[in-house]
């Protein structure tokens, strides 16, 4: 049975697109059929993070409006054959997305894929509400920082009220993905710790992604971190999160990058 997953956050810049790419690639590498949909109409970036920006011909809006068939718009990943991308339109605005159009695209995708992953735009406007509308599962991406936590709380409220499931009286399965976490700073009391964020938001923890220079390195190259450097701490955390999404009961760990002496001395500055 296909599952529709929304990756959302409210606040921008917390790692929704990075996490969508990383988790999508991790799930696809494990043999699942995965499609990633970019809902950020006008400000698309998932194509860039996935390294597919030069392969975009048709987009979500073309499909919604019937100008292109779904099969024409889907871009199959060159590295993982079970991974596809449906890009957003860069030129149109969000009003071009209709509830019925999105609904029919998702219904069609659910027949072909195991996971339909919707990369939500920031904010709580139309694009964000449409991205979460049909979700069975939601990942709330949060940084250990006050504004991100507040916005996540708001998004959790919307997941409980504005989704199709909520309107039918059912629940959207919600998970917290804590990104850009720095265990050392949290230990020194400079950063909200995992317990603080969990207690405030009270949704189950899917994973903790440590702050890592490897994340930027991967996006520079247009490759999800789980493909670009699977051994890195952040990638291992994403692989663990993907396993939990597939129903495996694993303890949440905070992977750390093993550094040599040189890395220990200069690691903070290297990017």
Contact 173, 145 (CB under 8 A): no
- Nearer to other proteins by Cβ, of 81 and 187: the residue is 187
Strand-pair partners of 229: none
Told to check if 169 binds other proteins by CB under 8 A, we report no
Site string for other proteins, 93-132 (x = CB under 8 A): ----------------------------------------
Q: Which structure tokens are listed for 149?
A: 């936590």
Contact 130, 97 (CB under 8 A): yes
Distance CA 195, CA 21 (A): 27
**Among 32-40, 103-111, 193-201, 256-264, the segment contacting other proteins (CB under 8 A):** 193-201
Told to check if 193 binds other proteins by CB under 8 A, we report yes
Query: Could you give the C-alpha distances from 184 to 13, 145, 166, 192, in angstroms and in order?
Result: 22, 15, 39, 11
Question: Minimal distance in Å, beta carbon 140 to other proteins?
Answer: 14
Of 83, 86, 140, 149, the one binding other proteins (CB under 8 A) is 149
Return the closest-CA partner of residue 8 out of 182, 201, 170, 192. Answer: 201
Question: Minimal distance in Å, beta carbon 11 to other proteins?
Answer: 13
User: Sheet containing 115-119: which strands, arranged edge to edge?
Assistant: 75-76, 83-86, 34-38, 115-119, 3-8, 137-142, 173-181, 205-210
Of 41, 124, 128, 186, the one binding other proteins (CB under 8 A) is 186
The DSSP annotation for 48-105 comes to: HHTT-GGG--S-HHHHHTTSS-HHHH-EE-SS-TTEEEEPPPSSS-GGG--HHHHHHH
**Among 67-75, 106-114, 146-154, 170-178, the segment contacting other proteins (CB under 8 A):** 146-154
Told to check if 190 binds other proteins by CB under 8 A, we report yes
Told to check if 246 binds other proteins by CB under 8 A, we report no
- Nearer to other proteins by Cβ, of 20 and 142: the residue is 142
Count of residues in contact with other proteins, rule CB under 8 A: 17
Told to check if 153 binds other proteins by CB under 8 A, we report yes
Distance CA 86, CA 36 (A): 6
Distance CA 235, CA 18 (A): 11
Told to check if 25 binds other proteins by CB under 8 A, we report no
The span from the first CA to the last CA of the chain, in angstroms, equals 41
Told to check if 215 binds other proteins by CB under 8 A, we report no
Question: Minimal distance in Å, beta carbon 145 to other proteins?
Answer: 8
**Among 57-65, 125-133, 141-149, 209-217, the segment contacting other proteins (CB under 8 A):** 141-149
> Would you tell me which residues interact with other proteins (CB under 8 A)?
145-146, 149-150, 153-154, 157, 161, 186, 188-193, 196, 200
């Amino acid at each position: 049975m296909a599952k529709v997953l929304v990756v959302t956050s409210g606040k921008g810049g917390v790692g929704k697109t990075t996490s969508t790419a990383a988790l999508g690639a991790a799930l696809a590498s494990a043999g699942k059929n995965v499609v990633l949909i970019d809902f950020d109409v006008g400000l698309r970036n998932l194509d860039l993070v996935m390294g597919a920006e030069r392969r975009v011909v048709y987009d979500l809006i073309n499909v919604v409006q019937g100008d292109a068939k779904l099969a024409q718009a889907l871009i199959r990943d060159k590295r993982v054959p079970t991974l596809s991308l449906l890009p957003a339109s860069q030129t149109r605005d969000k009003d071009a997305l209709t509830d019925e159009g999105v609904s029919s695209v998702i219904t069609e995708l659910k027949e072909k894929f195991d996971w339909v992953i919707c990369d939500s735009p920031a904010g709580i406007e139309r694009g964000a509400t449409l991205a979460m509308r049909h979700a069975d599962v939601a990942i709330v991406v949060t940084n250990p920082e006050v504004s991100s936590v507040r916005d996540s709380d708001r998004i959790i409220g919307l997941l409980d009220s504005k989704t199709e499931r909520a309107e039918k009286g059912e629940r959207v399965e919600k998970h917290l993905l804590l990104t850009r976490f720095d265990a050392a700073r949290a230990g020194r009391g400079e950063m909200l710790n995992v317990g603080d964020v969990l207690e405030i938001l009270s949704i189950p923890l899917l994973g903790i992604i440590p702050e890592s220079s490897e994340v930027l390195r991967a996006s520079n190259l247009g490759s999800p971190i789980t493909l670009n450097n699977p051994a890195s701490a952040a990638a291992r955390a994403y692989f663990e999160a993907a396993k939990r999404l597939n129903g495996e009961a694993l303890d949440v760990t905070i992977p750390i990058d093993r550094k040599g002496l040189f890395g220990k001395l200069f690691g903070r500055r290297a990017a």
